[in-house]
Amino acid sequence: MDLRQLEYVVAVAEERSFTRAAARCHVVQSALSAQVARLERELGVTLFHRTSRSVRVAPAGELLLPHARALLRGAEVARAELAAFAGVVTGRLRVGMVGTAGRGAPLVERALLAFHQQHPAVEIAVQDTGSRHMAEQVRTGDLDLAFVGLFADQVPPGVVHHLLADEPLVAVVARTHPLAGRAGVALEELAATGPFVDMRAEAGLRLQVDAAFARAGVARAVAFELSTSVAVVRFAGLGFGAALVPASAADGVRDVSVLPVDDPAARHPIGLVHRAPAPSAPSARAFLALLLEEGADRRGNR
């Protein structure tokens, strides 16, 4: 068993195709297939069930996958540590980034740009799979860092949380909505007016909205579940239902009426999370230091 074979196994499992896995690994398919078959013979197990139309991970493959990913990640970190010892930050920076960054977005963007300029040899990979999922990926080591819409008490054990920004949630409704133009609204009254437009279940914003209605002891009917706060505001403006969003998401939107809500605890945070006590990859540690320095500078200039 060698790292190249493990890389091929992970690629096939994730791509569900030997052809796509070969393209991803920049090898010909016959060479990749031969190496996977050789590993299966050496281990005496079947890693993949193959047909002419599909590839499925076999139970032995499922057992091997987490170990393969851990070994590949360990090798990557070792290479990056040695490069850092020589004075060069290399490797990959795997970042989760919630789409609803709100007032924390400028800080995050400045830090990423500054990091890229200081460490151009680092490959930055960004994804958004929802705050709850990304926080769990940080815990398991599948992400180095993540920007999430969660408070400190909403992240998994073993994960460090740095609050970067937070802002109030506001109600947005179409200008034809019965409550449009009001100076404020109670959540009970808002829920009684009809369906809601919400974020997908794994989103941090959805968690904060659910918590606000739970505090009010009110159930609401959710008609739409969307992936971005921009889409939520747009659908609310079209009249599909009311929504709660961060105040910055509704700034300058002409098609909605914005109403403060009667719950001061209804807020949306942007937090940075990483494994305790610090990220393992040198690139992630360098980015964390830069980001916290940017945040300290911003607070000092207020």
Cα separation, 258 vs 279, whole angstroms:
40
Q: How far is residue 150 from each of residues 143, 162, 166, 177, 195, measured CA to CA in Å?
A: 16, 10, 10, 30, 25
Residue 142: which residues within 8 A CB-CB, separation 6 or more?
69, 94
Chain centre distance of CA 301: 29
Q: What is the pLDDT of residues 204-247, one digit of tens each?
A: 999 999 999 999 999 999 999 999 999 999 999 999 999 999 99
Across 23-32, 69-78, 216-225, least confident range: 69-78
- The CATH code of the domain at 166-268 is 3.40.190.290
Q: What is the pTM of this model?
A: 0.74
Contact 94, 287 (CB under 8 A): no
- The CATH code of the domain at 3-72 is 1.10.10.10
Q: Which phi and psi (to 5°) does residue 147 adopt? A: -95, 120
Residue 54: which residues within 8 A CB-CB, separation 6 or more?
16
**How long a stretch of residues is the chain?**
302
CATH 2.60.120.200 fits 85-164+270-300, yes or no: no
Q: What is the pLDDT of residues 247-286, one digit of tens each?
A: 999 998 989 999 999 999 999 999 999 999 988 888 899 8
Cα separation, 182 vs 176, whole angstroms:
12
Cα separation, 147 vs 256, whole angstroms:
28
In a 3-state reduction of DSSP, which class is residue 290?
helix
Residue 78: which residues within 8 A CB-CB, separation 6 or more?
none
Q: Is there a shared CATH topology between the 85-164+270-300 domain and the 166-268 domain? A: yes
Count Cβ atoms within 10 A of the Cβ of residue 121 and give its class: 0-12 exposed, 13-18 middle, 19 or more buried.
exposed
Q: What is the pLDDT of residues 128-177, one digit of tens each?
A: 999 999 999 999 888 999 999 999 999 999 999 999 989 999 999 999 99
**What pLDDT shows up at residue 76?**
82
Domain ranges for the chain, please list them: 3-72, 85-164+270-300, 166-268
